[in-house]
Structure 1
Amino acid sequence: MNIAQIADRQAIANVLAQHSRGVDRADAGLLADCYHPDGTVDYRFYAGPASEFATILCGAQKAGPVTLHRTAQMWTEVEGDRAWSESYIMA
């Protein structure tokens, strides 16, 4: 593994952490920024554009109790300019 791959993996870890912060803060902009502008998501309750997902989820978060999400057991594979990642969230 070279330094560029290590930097890529760390950047991905930062985005995963930002995702949790966006949910916990009910900040749709912070959450939506975790995805590409044309990104999509497929969650149990929603499948579609990530920007709409961020708005829906953060609206629900504002109406509920405070949450604390922590990203754990991150697995990332980097191959050229593409990456795959999987992680667990403790909430």
Structure 2
Amino acid sequence: MSNKYEKLIKLYYKKKNIDKEHIKRIENPATLITELKINPMKKGNKILDKEYSLFYVNLLELSLLQEKIMENSKKIISLSNPNKFPQMSYIKLIRLRE
């Protein structure tokens, strides 16, 4: 796989070997293969005689975004914990934000 992650459909139109690329992607250690099944499409129509497992490749940029989400979630939880504030200050804080 190259440094830039391209959609399989783009590779198809570039006349690349999508079957080979598909195998590389599903064998990647960062890939999560789901139990969901999908059918490929051609010119807007489903190809019903083929079925693939839906997969997700956890790219570096997605991992970094996940990390930011977790950090922000921790901040929100710590700010919303009433045990960390004196009771009166917490009530004032809530009223100020209404």
TM range (shorter): under 0.3
Bigger radius of gyration: 2
So what's the TM-score if we normalise by structure 2?
A: 0.25
Which one scores higher on RCO, CA 8 angstroms, separation ≥ 6?
1
How does the TM-score come out when normalised to structure 1?
0.26
Higher helix share: 2
